[in-house]
Amino acid sequence: RPKLDTNFCVSRCKPIWLPIKAHRFAAYRAKVLQLLPQRVLQQYIDFEKQGQYSACIKLLESATPGSLNVLSPATMVSGKPLLVETVLQLIVGYSGLCLKNQQGSVAVKLITQVLDNMSLSLRDLHPGHRTVLEAYLFDTALSVCYYMPNDVTLADRSQSFFQQASERYLRLGHVNRYCKCCLRAAAVLHLQGSKSEAEYYTQQALNKLSDAPVSSLLAICYHNLAVHTVVQHRVADAVAHVRSYVALLRQLPKLGNSWMQLLDNTQWLILKAQELWPQHQQQNGIRDSQLISTR
């Protein structure tokens, strides 16, 4: 059994991850399948079963309205913005499936190809729609970074994905999406060991929600701030953030069990870390001045 000490408690604290939901995935998929001639349809479904999603998208060159292969936009049909949007939404869903089925490298390839061809493939979309979809695709790429922490090339681009997505959400006035994107970026930074940056981005989300009504998103901001401060050994700050989210939870309708489990676990770990802190301090010769929370 591991020894219950401060280091154990701190190492068990993790930020809550907010996955992107692939909205209406089944509907988008059904729509795309309807556009395929019968001879191609079976091939498409076979590729899909094998998880060869790039091959599926390539088959969309045979779609009845004209090529809808968004990974090769130069030969794509023009004047069909809604169909292009449908295909891109489908790819977001496929990326999620890859991550779920431990095919992270396929998700990386798929989302990277989409981003590299995006400026051409989105050319026919209405500017507002285009901005929403671009933000969504960059946000999806950021999510792939979270699930693929060992992909160095992708990790190097994570900062850029966040900047691109968050800047668009702000332009669109999508406050909640912006805040969730900040929390995702912070979770990626946490995995990369950039602790103070993770705290900074979480604080950005909290600042945006300062005038918003009480919400579960606000509670998660405080929860993740508690984690990002305790891993920097700022126990007093972490405890204050725990108290904030516990107070918020009393004002909210009951959250789902899996959420509550995470929130309760973190509360227990941080309060236990606080209780064991004087002992940890003594053993490691940490001076009191190092304990003063830095704001």
pLDDT tens digit string along 134-176? Answer: 999 999 999 999 999 999 999 999 999 999 999 999 999 999 9
pLDDT reading at 290 higher than 50:
no
Both tokens assigned to 112:
């990277």
pTM: 0.90
Whole-Å CA distances, 238 to 269, 275, 291: 11, 13, 12
| Alpha-carbon gap, residue 144 to 96, rounded angstroms | 8
Mean pLDDT, residues 235-260: 92
Task: For 87-135, write each residue's pLDDT tens digit.
Answer: 999 999 999 999 988 889 999 999 999 999 999 999 999 999 999 999 9
- Reduced to 3 states (helix: H, G, I; strand: E, B; else coil), residue 40 is helix
What residue segments make up the domains of the chain, in order of their start? 6-279
- Reduced to 3 states (helix: H, G, I; strand: E, B; else coil), residue 233 is coil
pLDDT value at position 286?
59
- Reduced to 3 states (helix: H, G, I; strand: E, B; else coil), residue 50 is coil
| Alpha-carbon gap, residue 249 to 261, rounded angstroms | 13
| Alpha-carbon gap, residue 93 to 28, rounded angstroms | 9
- Reduced to 3 states (helix: H, G, I; strand: E, B; else coil), residue 174 is coil
Give the contacts of 48 (CB within 8 A, at least 6 positions apart): 56
Average pLDDT, rounded, for the chain: 92
Mean pLDDT, residues 258-285: 88
Using only C-alpha atoms, the chain has a radius of gyration, in whole angstroms, of 22
| Alpha-carbon gap, residue 100 to 112, rounded angstroms | 18
pLDDT value at position 6?
87
| Alpha-carbon gap, residue 160 to 157, rounded angstroms | 5
Name the residue among 210, 197, 205 with its Cα closest to residue 180. 205
The residue behind tokens 């999510």 is 143
Sign of CA dihedral 120, 126, 128, 132: negative
Question: Is domain 6-279 annotated with CATH 1.25.40.10?
Answer: yes
| Alpha-carbon gap, residue 252 to 79, rounded angstroms | 46
pLDDT value at position 279?
83
